[in-house]
A and B are shown apart, each in its own frame.
Chain A
């Protein structure tokens, strides 16, 4: 049980120095995950989930005036304090990433094979020919039909689903220990989405790698994730194994998110549930609990002081002052479950 976690994030903060002052997009995120886990990071746009995932690999280094705080421990090394050259050796080899929009995430002027082979040649010191051969094999693994033809094509010649498979092939080319998938299925249509999810889950089983799955789609989470972290305004507000989170969501925000999933069996005339208000701007973070401006249960305590991360059960944590009272009050036995 006491094996080292694959990734351990300690109080990670990401600040951007902008003209309007310092903006803290990730504000003290801590979690750990093991290899083999598929952890879902869920949140609305602006919750800081993408920034968080890119901070892990320090992909924001080249953006204007970014500053990280805290620790990201991967294989006993703190990625945040590594030299650029050591970091490059890890990127693409140990940790790799796939992005939301596959077409814009692939270079338009190089063939798929060239782009996959690039990472292989960089990290495994193989010849051009070997890298090409390996690219074909990985493409085959991701289920692209006739990979030996596709490998020589350019991204714009492939369909969206195939582009994302190529992207996944590129990310997996060096058999990483950790795959960060930032909304990998959002730009795809539903049938392709299901195939890609299945592919990621399958590769996770076969290769035993950890997957950090960033999404705003709770349906997707319920399908493949083993555990879920819900993010709001740059913080994790609730974390639990997937089943627990769907059965007994404790944080009012999580409850709102789950309720706002449209249900097939519901009454069509009933209006869809929405969470009132919008995510506050990062330059205008409310005092106290970040969710207090939108929370129907918020009281004076919530508005003035920030709740700590509280332990509900051994595996279930929630950042809310009143979760016991709220869930008793509602007599909730949430039966939302998985709605596909």
Chain B
């Protein structure tokens, strides 16, 4: 198991190298001189050159890259050009709404999707199966912003059960915090739920046809035990993969939902920074999101080992 963990962690190094290079190059690939963008169209050539010098943009690329990476390793993501605060501080302020939203959306998705997928697989070809599959198709087809607007209209405006938009930090109480996140959580989680339902169904269908399910039944096990202890445990790996992958897309997909529900998360931060060409912030946010993505995938990989002895005990 230890060897497996080490192998997984070492394999992150090349990924991170590529990621940092790509993020670093954002500044230099995007058209338009950042200094010119910062200073506006009225700026003179001297002013632009002066700012370029201040920002270190006139140095050779390699030198800029190594100094940036060195700073990143120390936790220093640079300073925001517009907000007068370090990038790391800005990210820290905006990350918790996004994380809360993404986790809530994922929890909603998992709670709905796994039972739905299992029922659909177990009752394959039944009315329940067809309705669930129809629902999940709908769930994948409806864009999250549209669903969000509908929820706002019906639950927020008409029924007035939940606030229409806005955000309260966790420090103002769990319910206050959740109250604002439920609707965006549903809008964001629906697509995930649809995906995970489908994955659960197909993975369970595959496993239910395997011989060891027959063995489990031939032992006299109760159907529930056959389903949960034997079938689900083996069907769980691909489901886990989808959950991991979609969690990454949740963090990035939150951009739209955050904009609609006016949640001050990473999505808003990056949208505003793109509009302002605040490169340090853009780089910082992209880097943090990528790190989250990579970390989640690492955790999923490690969970594989915990779930499946064939992965854990692989000799090589």
Q: Which residues of A contact B (CB under 8 A)?
A: 54, 57, 59, 62, 64, 84, 87-93, 96-97, 99-101, 104-109, 118-119, 122-123, 154, 156-157, 167, 170-171
Contact B214 A105 (CB under 8 A): yes
Secondary structure class of chain B's binding surface, majority of residues:
helix
28 contacts across the A-B interface (CB closer than 8 A): A59-B214, A62-B208, A88-B222, A90-B220, A91-B219, A91-B220, A92-B219, A96-B218, A97-B214, A97-B215, A97-B218, A99-B214, A99-B215, A104-B211, A105-B211, A107-B230, A107-B234, A108-B212, A108-B309, A109-B233, A109-B309, A122-B219, A154-B310, A156-B309, A156-B310, A157-B313, A170-B215, A170-B219
B58 part of interface (Cβ distance < 8 Å): no
Task: Bits for B75-92, please: 1 = Cβ < 8 Å to A, else 0.
Answer: 000000000000000000
Complex CA gap A96/B217 in Å reads 10
Please give the distance in Å from B229's CB to the nearest CB on chain A: 8
Known: A91-B220, A122-B220, A154-B313. 15 other contacts (CB 8 A): A57-B218, A59-B214, A59-B218, A62-B217, A88-B220, A91-B219, A97-B214, A99-B214, A104-B211, A108-B234, A118-B219, A118-B221, A123-B220, A156-B313, A171-B218
Complex CA gap A93/B308 in Å reads 29
- Chain A's closest residue to B315 (CB) is A157
Contact B216 A107 (CB under 8 A): yes
Complex CA gap A118/B212 in Å reads 13
> Of A118, A156, A157, A170, which is in contact with the most chain B CB atoms at under 10 Å from its CB?
A118
Please give the distance in Å from A158's CB to the nearest CB on chain B: 12
B299 part of interface (Cβ distance < 8 Å): no
Complex CA gap A107/B212 in Å reads 5
Q: Which residues of B contact A (CB under 8 A)?
A: 124-125, 208, 210-212, 214-223, 230, 233-234, 307-310, 313
Please give the distance in Å from A321's CB to the nearest CB on chain B: 38
Q: A104-B212, A109-B234 are in contact. Are A64 and B218 (CB under 8 A)?
A: no
Q: With a CB–CB cut-off of 8 A, which chain B residues contact A171?
A: 218
Inter-chain CB contacts under 8 Å: number: 80
Q: Pick the 3 closest A-B CB pairs, nearest first.
A: A92-B220, A92-B219, A91-B220
Q: With a CB–CB cut-off of 8 A, which chain A residues contact B216?
A: 107
The answer, among A87, A96, A156, for a CB contact under 8 Å with B219, is: A96
- Chain A's closest residue to B210 (CB) is A104
Please give the distance in Å from A171's CB to the nearest CB on chain B: 8
Q: A108-B309, A109-B307 are in contact. Are A99 and B211 (CB under 8 A)?
A: yes
Please give the distance in Å from A184's CB to the nearest CB on chain B: 12
Complex CA gap A157/B307 in Å reads 16
Complex CA gap A106/B309 in Å reads 13
Complex CA gap A207/B51 in Å reads 92
Complex CA gap A270/B313 in Å reads 51
- Chain A's closest residue to B125 (CB) is A64
- Chain A's closest residue to B122 (CB) is A62
Complex CA gap A156/B307 in Å reads 15
Complex CA gap A157/B309 in Å reads 10
Q: With a CB–CB cut-off of 8 A, which chain A residues contact B234?
A: 107-109
Please give the distance in Å from B171's CB to the nearest CB on chain A: 42
The answer, among A54, A101, A119, for a CB contact under 8 Å with B220, is: A119
